[in-house]
A and B are shown apart, each in its own frame.
Chain A
Amino acid sequence: MQSESRIDPKIVEEILKFSKNVIDAPKLVSAPDEISLEVTPHDVVQQIDKTRLLHYRPLTEKRHKTPLLISYALINRYHILDIQPEKSWVRNLLLQGFDVYMLDWGTPTSMDKYLDFDDYVNGYLDSSVEYIKNESSTEKISLQGYCTGGTIATTYAALHPESVKNYIATAPVIDGWRDTTVISNLAKHMDVDKMVDTIGNMPPEFMYYCFSVLKPFEQGIEKYVKFFKNIDNKQFVDSFLRVEKWLGDTPPIPGELFKQWIKDIYQKNLLIQNKMYVGGEHIDLKKIDMPVFTQIAVGDHLVSPECSMPLHYAVGSDDKTLRMYPTGHVGMIASSLSQKKVLPELGQWLSERS
């Protein structure tokens, strides 16, 4: 008597193929060290402590007059904005004729634990703005802040409106109480004083823990299943490894800066209430009177739209634009959608004002 098997042979085939891909993976993919995340050519034009001001080399002959400075986030590094040529935020802006600078916050060490918001806003960011103003002989520059870099850039724009011609806030962390993400829940219950007093800077390991609780099954399982399934697809593998390398490279955050960020933004929510102080100076969002372009990702699970959106309504500017995109936190800056939709819209808005 012949027994009837109900297992689809395709299942067996799939399992065998997947196993083969896992075995072949080490032969097919590059080691993280072999991948360089420095994509678009640039020069380091200024170095203060561990921070570096990068100036990207132009890709067009005709350029807009007002230079653009990007203030990247405190988590991970600026490379995501230039992760690969076809998804590069920086390259796209260069091709649209903008003069692009990037502020790399560097990798703080134990001795930097006393660096605070004041050092970042009135020190490193202000020095970069002053340098660019001098170099380009302009009175004002355009400023873009991404994620936590958006919090820093927002406070800068409020304190130094005379230096900012246009302000672009990309998924900025603004209203901590409205934030609906897991990060905000962890931040609200954190004894940040004890943390900083005991361990100094915020270690990358803690950040990795925070990332691991964001969509743990999609990010921890499905992502890698997809990777092994597509191991023969060179473009997919290259893109995947670049993002993985970027994800695994987050510098510590200086203790005092982290303390103020958690307390003032997530626990006391001072920024949006116009009650925050940086270096003894009051931050009044109404003083942001230059044109403001706020970009929000609807599917953002790191900085929820509810957290970023209040900036649009809080600034004093008459010329303000709010754009929402059907993507996530990283998708907004490094994806085909960002190349096809987000950047052309930003470019148009900025060129009309540059």
Chain B
Amino acid sequence: MSSKPQALSSIGPMRAFASNSKKISTELIEINDDLIEFNQYLTEYYKQLADTWSVAQKKTNLKVPEVPQDVEQIEAFKRIWIDIFDNDYTELFDSEKFGENYGKLVSKELELTKHWNNITNVILQSVNLPSKEEIDEVYKEMHSLKKRVAKLELELKKEVKKNAK
């Protein structure tokens, strides 16, 4: 009789949420740390883009020193501008330094997503809903079952064919 109020609170959403609130705080602290690193990579990303722009623009200015005066000149200027910029940016995107920084930028972004997923999981569990991992398990099971069914169907087909002969 005396345990009844405790039992009630142990199944309510607030109880579950309160017991996991520490997890949320930890995730938020880690998000903060990751955000700092994410911003470093993002700054480097935009720096690389800006530096390339500046070099490409200088190259264009050297090639086309005068302001275009007629339609043909504008067309020619545009062609040179596009060619130089496309070449320089392709060189950047193809470089080790860009690939490495971009890889780290995406990786940090994924870590931020992971934290967000973890926070969402805490909230989902507090209202007795399945977490992402639990849903993934269902998907995995379904995939494996489908594979087994397909294999069995194939074997059955072969058997039917064999018997028909």
Contact = CB atoms under 8 A, between A and B. Distances in A.
B98 A185 contact: yes
Contact of A213 (B69, B82, B89, B106): B89
Contacts of A199: 110, 113
Interface string A167-197: 0000000000000111001101111001100
A6 B67 CA distance: 11
A217 B89 contact: yes
A115 B143 contact: yes
Interface string B134-150: 00100110111011001
A1 interface: no
A217 B85 contact: yes
A112 B136 CA distance: 10
Contacts of B140: 114
A218 B143 contact: no
Contacts of B106: 190-191, 195
B139 A189 contact: no
A11 interface: yes
Given A8-B70, A114-B139, A115-B143, A185 B93 contact: yes
Given A111-B139, A191-B103, A217-B82, A8 B71 contact: yes
Contacts of A112: 143
Contact of B70 (A11, A217, A218): A11
B99 A188 contact: yes
Contacts of B78: 222, 225
A188 B96 CA distance: 10
Nearest to B71: A10
Interface string B35-68: 0000000000000000000000000000000000
Interface string B94-126: 110011101100110011011001000000000
Contacts of A182: 90, 93-94
Nearest to B140: A114
B86 interface: yes
A156 to B, nearest CB: 16
Interface in A279-302: none
Contacts of B98: 185
B85 A189 contact: no
Given A186-B102, A191-B103, A191-B106, A222 B139 contact: no
21 contacts: A10-B70, A10-B71, A182-B94, A185-B93, A185-B94, A185-B95, A186-B93, A186-B99, A186-B102, A188-B99, A189-B100, A190-B103, A191-B106, A195-B106, A195-B110, A199-B113, A200-B136, A214-B90, A216-B86, A216-B89, A217-B81
A-B pairs, top 9 by smallest CB distance, nearest first, are: A189-B103, A114-B143, A189-B99, A8-B70, A182-B93, A185-B99, A217-B85, A198-B110, A217-B82
Interface of A: 6-8, 10-11, 14, 49, 110-115, 119, 123, 180-182, 185-186, 188-191, 194-195, 198-200, 213-218, 221-222, 225
Interface of B: 69-71, 74, 78, 81-82, 85-86, 89-90, 93-95, 98-100, 102-103, 106-107, 110-111, 113-114, 117, 136, 139-140, 142-144, 146-147, 150
Given A8-B71, A215-B86, 18 more contacts: A10-B70, A11-B74, A14-B74, A110-B139, A111-B139, A112-B143, A114-B140, A123-B150, A180-B94, A182-B93, A186-B102, A188-B99, A191-B103, A198-B114, A213-B89, A217-B85, A217-B89, A222-B82
